[in-house]
Structure 1
Amino acid sequence: MNLIHILGLAALLTVSATASATSFVVTTDAVVGAVGATSEATSDVSSSFTDDKIVLAARDDAAAFVASQGEIRGVRLEAALQHIRQQIPALHDDDMQLAAAILSL
C-alpha cells in the first residue's frame, strides 16, 4: 500500500469511530431522557394521588395498558387519566408514562 491509501484508511477509521461514538451518545441521551420523563411523571402522580380512590381503582387497567403496549385501554384507566389531567393541568406526560406512574402507587 502506498502512503495515500494508508492515510485514507486512517481517516476513514477515524470518521467511523467518531460516528459510532456520536450515535452512542445520542442513543444514551434519548434513553436517559425517557427514563427521566417517566421518573418525573411517577413522582408527580405518586406524591399527589397516593390515596385517591379513582386513581387507585385504575391500577389493574394501568397494568393491562402497560403490558399490552397501549392496546388495552380500560374504563377505569381512562377515568384516572382524565382525573389526573384535571387535577394537574400543567402535566404533559403521555398515557404510558401516567399508567406506569399509577402502577407505582
Structure 2
Amino acid sequence: MNTIPSLGLTALLLISGGAAASSFIGTTDALGNALVGTSDASTDATSSLRDDKLVLGARDDAASFVASQGQIRGVRLEAALEHIRRQHPNLQAGDLQLARAILGL
C-alpha cells in the first residue's frame, strides 16, 4: 500500500478545511462590522444590533437557515431580517449573509 498519496490527500483536506473556516470567519466579521458600522451616529455602535432583542432572538432561526443553505426560514429570522433592512436601508447583503452576521453577534 502506498502511503504517499494518502498523506497528500490528508494534507489537502486539512488545508481546504482551514481555508473554508477562515473564509467563513472573515465574512462573518466583515458583515458584523458592516452592520454595526451602519448604525445611526447617535447610537452606540457596539450596542445597536448586539443588544437588539429582536435580532438576538433570531439566532436559532438564523442557525437553521444557514445550516440548511436557506431552506428553513423561521418566523423570528424573517422578522429580524425585515427589522435590519428597515433600520439600515442602504445595506447590501443577502439573507444568508445577514443570517451569518446574526450568528456572529
What TM-score do the two structures reach when normalised by structure 1? Answer: 0.61
Q: CA–CA distance in 1 between the matches of 2:27 and 2:91?
A: 11
Alignment length (residue pairs):
75
What TM-score do the two structures reach when normalised by structure 2? Answer: 0.61
The answer to whether the Cα contact below 8 Å between 1:63 and 1:99 also exists between their aligned partners in 2 is yes
Higher gyration radius (CA):
1
Q: CA–CA distance in 1 between the matches of 2:86 and 2:26?
A: 23
Query: What is the root-mean-square deviation in Å for CA atoms of aligned residues?
Result: 2.4
2:98 maps to which residue?
98
Q: Cα deviations across residues 8-58 of structure 1 (Å, max 9, x unaligned)?
A: xxxxxxxxxxxxxxxxxxxxxxxx7x9866543221235430000100000
User: Residue 80 of structure 1 aligns to a residue in which SS?
Assistant: helix
Structure number with higher helix proportion: 1
Structure 1: 5+ residue runs without aligned partners?
1-31
2:75 alignment partner AA? V
Question: Displaced runs of 4+ in structure 1, greater than 6 A?
Answer: none
Q: CA–CA distance in 1 between the matches of 2:26 and 2:94?
A: 13
Aligned-residue sequence identity (percent) comes to 60
